[in-house]
A and B are shown apart, each in its own frame.
Chain A
Amino acid sequence: MRYSGWKVLLEGLRGNRGWKPVWRDPAPKAHYDAVIIGGGGHGLSTAYYLAKNHGLTNIAVLEKGYIGGGNVGRNTTIVRADYMLPGNAEFYSHSLKLWEGLEAELNYNVMLSQRGIIRLFHSDGQRDAFVRRGNAMINQGDDAVLLDREGLREQLPYLDYDQARFPVHGGLLHPRGGTARHDAVAWGYARAADRRGVDLIQNCEVTGIDVEGGRVRGVQTTRGVIRADKVAIITAGRSGQVAAMAGMRLPIESHILQAFVTEGLKPVIDHVISFGMGHFYISQSDKGGLVFGGDLDFHSSYAQRGNLPMAEHVMEAAMTLMPMIGRARVLRSWGGIMDMTPDGSPVIDRTHIDGLFVDCGWNYGGFKAVPASGWCMAHLMATGESHEVARRFRLNRFATGHLIDEEGSGSQHNLH
């Protein structure tokens, strides 16, 4: 079924009786050419691009819960290409280009809203650093505009510009950045992959990875044994446990990141605003809720819920930056499990076991990477070679010293 405005109108007139389930619910087959562990955004996009770009259709995506139930449905939906370091810059640039064509590509409304992202600066030194970052973004072919204090005030009149600790001097605007509807991205890729013959198998937890003679042979699951020539671990915060089934230790520690949403309000915040010095960022969803968050809770955790000290810190940062926010009431908060690497950059690579691949270490930036991560992982799995925009995301780069430390904060899992 192809979606269109006409289809919506027609179904409206017919009492919406013509909609069909969007993807099949197949039983697992005994053998696949490739099995992807993890039905999140990255796993689904990998399956889709394996089918679309490389013609592999005998593929299964194994999801222990339901499609869209993990981090892809728990994030704060920001899409951007404002990275500076070689390795990251070309990758996220590629990802943003894929985002811009995604709705036509998937025939699914992912509600991409390129409303612009503004990163605030508060000192001369920070402004210089942002000029450098903006130039790197422009050199990469993306966009960046430096806003001085008055230019910023025109766009964001409600900030407290003269706060004592972090007076606002201006901002770096990334006009093509913005937000997208996170669930729709999962559903869109799931539907598009299913239509190309990929089996999406839900409620199917992988309990073991079979390796014989240094080669992967398949997986053990709660729904039986599945043989496969290639297996991809794309399980975000749970990567460590899944990799352990193949006897591996990953350079990853899982941390919680909290997010918050207020009751629905009339339009008030047009952009995504990032207040890095206060560890705070905010945007407004299409439903009107203010969606915001801050930093990690700073200790390893799988709890999917945060602690109060960080909640309090985020609220304080919000009040410091935009005192008007004190009138809004917080509706709910939640926590997601972040797969933190020592340098804050991800891994898309093969492993020492033939046929076993990993796509992990997305820290708290996985959502914007969904299209390019799948694109590059599919390229790696199909051709055996790293894609050119992901060639630095190597699993062994910590041992070889080729770190990609975008924030320059040092080689420790919780510092990024």
Chain B
Amino acid sequence: MRLTCPLCGPRDRREFTYLGAEDYLHRPAPDAPRDAPPDALSEAWDSYLHLRDNPAGPTRDLWYHEQGCAAWLLVSRNTITHEITGVELVANRKGGAA
């Protein structure tokens, strides 16, 4: 498996560290309610931290080019075939970093 880093070009999978699903880009707003009674996280925070669509097929997730340019990447790929269909810099997205 190879990922084409927008800065470094096609690189071996071993250079990258996987964080998790794209959900990590959708951090609740600072003023979003944190708690929900009784004694639980609000749905927004629970969803951001724990709950996942976990698709079998196309997915988007966050990878870190740890042994390369140290950029955070948003990777579009297929969880059944392991095909990589797109890699973009998280920093270039509207709204900025993870």
Q: Which residues of A contact B (CB under 8 A)?
A: 238, 240-241, 244, 249-254, 298-303, 307, 309, 342, 396, 398-401, 411-414
Contact = CB atoms under 8 A, between A and B. Distances in A.
B49 interface: yes
B82 A253 contact: no
Contacts, number: 82
Most buried by A among B54, B79, B81: B54
A128 to B, nearest CB: 30
27 contacts: A238-B56, A240-B55, A249-B47, A249-B51, A249-B52, A250-B52, A250-B54, A252-B52, A299-B18, A300-B21, A300-B54, A300-B59, A300-B61, A301-B82, A302-B56, A302-B80, A303-B80, A307-B13, A309-B12, A398-B41, A398-B50, A399-B41, A399-B50, A400-B40, A401-B41, A412-B19, A413-B20
Contact of A398 (B1, B49, B53): B49
Contact of B79 (A252, A254, A412): A254
Interface string B14-48: 10011111000000000000001001110000110
4 smallest A-B Cβ distances: which pairs? A240-B54, A249-B51, A299-B18, A398-B50
Contacts of B53: 240, 244, 249
Given A252-B54, A413-B20, 18 more contacts: A240-B52, A251-B52, A253-B52, A298-B18, A300-B20, A300-B79, A303-B80, A303-B81, A303-B82, A307-B13, A342-B49, A342-B50, A398-B41, A399-B41, A400-B39, A411-B49, A412-B19, A413-B52
Most buried by B among A251, A253, A411: A253
Most buried by A among B12, B17, B36, B53: B53
A242 B18 CA distance: 25
Given A299-B61, A413-B20, A250 B79 contact: no
A201 B53 CA distance: 28
B81 A254 contact: no
Given A300-B79, A303-B79, A399-B46, A414 B54 contact: no
A241 B56 contact: yes
Contacts of A299: 18, 61, 63
Nearest to A243: B54
Interface string B76-98: 00011110000000000000000
A399 B21 contact: no
Contacts of B54: 240-241, 250, 252-254, 300
Interface residues of B, number: 30
A307 B1 contact: yes
Contacts of A396: 40
A244 B54 CA distance: 10
A180 B63 CA distance: 38
Contacts of A240: 52-55
A118 B58 CA distance: 41
A303 B53 CA distance: 17
Contacts of A249: 47, 51-53
A59 to B, nearest CB: 27
B39 A253 contact: no
Contact of A301 (B21, B63, B79): B79
A253 B59 CA distance: 12
A308 to B, nearest CB: 8
Contacts of B56: 238, 241, 254, 302
B20 A412 contact: yes
Contact of A414 (B20, B36, B41): B20
Most buried by B among A301, A303, A309: A301
A300 B61 CA distance: 9
Contacts of B12: 309
Contact of A302 (B20, B21, B79): B79
B63 to A, nearest CB: 8
A289 to B, nearest CB: 27
Contact of A251 (B14, B51, B59): B51
A298 B51 CA distance: 18
Contacts of A414: 18, 20
Contact of A309 (B13, B20, B39): B13
Nearest to A301: B79
A309 B15 CA distance: 11
Contacts of A301: 79-80, 82
B28 to A, nearest CB: 13
A412 B19 CA distance: 8
